Structure 1
Amino acid sequence: MAVTQVSATDAALALITKLKTRYGELMFHQSGGCCDGSSPMCFQKGEFQVGDSDICLGEIGGAEFYMSKPQFEYWKHTHLIIDVVEGRGGMFSLEGPEGVRFLTRSRLYADDEWAELVSAGKV
């Protein structure tokens, strides 16, 4: 089984499904600070402009998940796990009106996972 760089909890996947019903195709970008701190931001697909300084880490619930290259350098040793918690999150993220917010959790890769990512040129 291929090592992934991002995954989502069942609660996050259920929320993504709900948001897709309302808004259509989605995308995520891991915010690196500024207005909304460092949180996964959910947008309608194409609503957030990704560029050469962003990389796609994979998909969660069929939605691509992006992060800036400089931020990835700090997080590349960790597998990102997108979860949902109660409370208000980023004011620009689509889940805001639901009274919940997406949250990034992480874990370090095991040695064999890291070796696979290095071998595949993903880090």
Structure 2
Amino acid sequence: MERALEARPRVDGEEFSRVALTAEAMDLLRQLWGRHGPLMFHQSGGCCDGSSPMCYPAGDFKTGDADVLLGTFDMNDVQGEPLGGIDFWMSVEQFAYWKHTHLTVDVVDGRGSGFSVEAPEGKRFLIRSELMG
């Protein structure tokens, strides 16, 4: 799994990226941006696809004190022109478990949750993790 884009760090006091995208995830996000406009991710610890990051139109999922902003992906279109940022949020509870890991958002075939915007595409986002050293 190759990381194509590292997120800009957003956790207070940190200067390293905690989350990245594969090239396949970037391609799908560009398509979804074209249909839905600006996007965001939220990774919860819930029961329904709790291990899958959920992708929403930006602002459709309300975040608050129970969430941590891990990073922002500064996305470009296929011509290299800036699209905008895609924030990656995680529940505080989930972050407590995953704080020592680097997360990479990838794409696989199959239907994920009906709430995530990629579901109708026959694709789903998933997290690949590795311990940070």
Smaller-chain TM-score bracket: 0.7 to 0.9
Question: Which TM-score applies when normalising by structure 1?
Answer: 0.84
- What corresponds to 1:113 in structure 2? none
Could you list the per-position Cα deviations for residues 7-50 of structure 1 after superposition, in whole angstroms to 9, with x for gaps in the alignment?
Answer: 00000011111100110000000131222332100000000010
1:57 aligns with 2:75: no
How far the C-alpha of 1:3 sits from its partner, in A, is: 1.9
- What corresponds to 1:18 in structure 2? 31
| % identical aligned pairs | 57
8 Å contact from structure 1 (residues 7, 59) kept in 2 = no
- What corresponds to 1:30 in structure 2? 43
List, as ranges, runs of 4+ consecutive aligned residues in structure 1 with deviation greater than 3 Å: none
Could you list the per-position Cα deviations for residues 74-117 of structure 1 after superposition, in whole angstroms to 9, with x for gaps in the alignment?
Answer: 0000000000000010110000011000000011112xxxxxxx
In structure 1, runs of 5+ residues without a counterpart are 111-123
Alpha-carbon distance between aligned partners in 2 of 1:101 and 1:39, rounded to the nearest angstrom? 8
1:78 aligns with 2:101: yes
Alpha-carbon distance between aligned partners in 2 of 1:38 and 1:31, rounded to the nearest angstrom? 7
Structure with more strand by fraction: 2
Give the number of equivalent residue pairs. Answer: 109
Alpha-carbon distance between aligned partners in 1 of 2:59 and 2:107, rounded to the nearest angstrom? 23
In structure 2, runs of 5+ residues without a counterpart are 1-14, 76-84
8 Å contact from structure 2 (residues 18, 102) kept in 1 = yes
Alpha-carbon distance between aligned partners in 2 of 1:25 and 1:88, rounded to the nearest angstrom? 22
1:97 aligns with 2:110: no
